[in-house]
């Protein structure tokens, strides 16, 4: 008997943003660009999903959120999900914040407000680069 194997090659993004309108807009735009998007409303939910090993190819997270910040989630990355690329978003995009995110392992930090096409291009670049490793 031959078993069918379903290979879902759609890149999966875990999106953490405490502003519900921005989170919904980003999810809609990323989904229309061909990504599967799971949404989190804060850093604690994001960390829990990562610790549960929710499959994803990329994390996009706001830095300033209630509970755990995006930077705190970055600092707590361990084990299997440490290799998942992490893009940070911030409305407080000073050099110190960008440097701290980079030191903690973020592949990019994007300042709000940003162009939605820029986010789609950045996500595509990161997912493509990650697939080649």
pLDDT tens column, 66-86: 889 999 999 988 666 788 999
- Which pair of tokens denotes residue 99? 């440097």
Strands 86-90 and 36-40: unpaired
Give the integer Cα–Cα distance in Å for 20 and 3: 42
Structural domains of the chain ordered from first start: 37-131 (3.40.50.2300)
- Which pair of tokens denotes residue 62? 């706001």
H or E segment to which residue 40 belongs: strand 36-40
Q: Name the pTM for this structure.
A: 0.89
Q: What's the pLDDT at 6? A: 44
The band of 5, judged by pLDDT with boundaries at 50, 70 and 90, is very low
Give the integer Cα–Cα distance in Å for 36 and 105: 23
Q: Quick one: which of 113, 112, 130 has its CA closest to 12? A: 130
């Amino acid at each position: 008997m031959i078993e069918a194997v379903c290979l879902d090659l759609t890149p999966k993004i875990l999106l953490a943003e405490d502003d519900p309108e921005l989170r919904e807009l980003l999810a809609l735009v990323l989904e229309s660009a061909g990504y599967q998007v799971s949404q989190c409303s804060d850093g604690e939910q994001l960390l829990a999903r990562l610790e549960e090993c929710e499959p994803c190819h990329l994390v996009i997270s706001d830095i300033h959120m209630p509970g755990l910040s995006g930077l705190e989630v970055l600092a707590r990355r361990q084990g299997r999900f440490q290799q998942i690329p992490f893009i940070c978003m911030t409305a407080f995009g000073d050099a110190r914040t960008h440097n701290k995110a980079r030191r903690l392992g973020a592949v990019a930090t994007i300042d709000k407000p940003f162009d939605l096409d820029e986010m789609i291009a950045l996500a595509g670049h990161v997912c493509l680069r990650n697939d080649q490793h």
